[in-house]
Amino acid sequence: MNKDISFSPITKEAASELAQLDKECFSLPWSQKQFYEDAQNPLAYYALARIDGELAGYCGIYSVADEGQITNIAVAKKFRRMGVAKAILDKITEYAVLNGLSVITLEVRESNEAAINLYLKKGFGRVGYRKGYYHNPDEGAVLMDLNLKGRQ
């Protein structure tokens, strides 16, 4: 990664930008309203990654009790293969550890080998499968988690 990545939390003002990135990345993107609501949700935390002020990617996580559930990780096409997803995942893991979470869970499309490989490299393990979890196209989800016990 040649460029410096800066991080900031989600704001209501960033909702439009996040919705645009979601349209670029996902077949069923979240709406601006969903991001706007999450900006006000005390259980939600987002790490927004910026390169030279431009939104390069983001990750959202919901925290309930001592568990974190990743909602989405998205990286703009022009910033892919530059280490942005790895940096975002590191930031979310840091947040989870600092906030006393014991585990991070996520679902990922079974065909998304690049993401699955990244998660495996970052210490996530495969813990299950959900048939027909995703739509457009229909596809199963690989369930993964990262145990954070002992990292606090």
Q: Are 116 and 81 in contact (CB under 8 A)?
A: no
Residue 49 to residue 91: CA distance in whole angstroms: 9
With contact defined as beta carbons under 8 Å apart, do 5 and 49 qualify?
yes
The residue annotated as part of the active site, out of 94, 107, 110, 129, is: 107
| Residue 107: active-site member | yes
Domains in the chain: boundaries: 6-147
What string of pLDDT tens digits covers the 152 residues of the chain? 456 899 998 999 999 999 999 999 998 899 999 999 999 999 999 999 999 999 999 999 999 999 999 999 999 999 998 999 999 999 999 999 999 999 999 999 999 999 999 999 999 999 999 998 888 888 999 999 999 987 76
The CATH number of 6-147 is 3.40.630.30
Q: Among the options 37, 119, 129, 134, which is catalytic?
A: 119
Query: Using the 8-state DSSP alphabet, how is residue 17 labeled?
Result: H
Q: Quick check: pTM over 0.75?
A: yes
Which pLDDT tens digit goes with each residue over 59-75?
Answer: 999 999 999 999 999 99
**Helix 32-39 vs helix 15-25: angle between axes, to the nearest 10 degrees?**
130
94 in active site: no
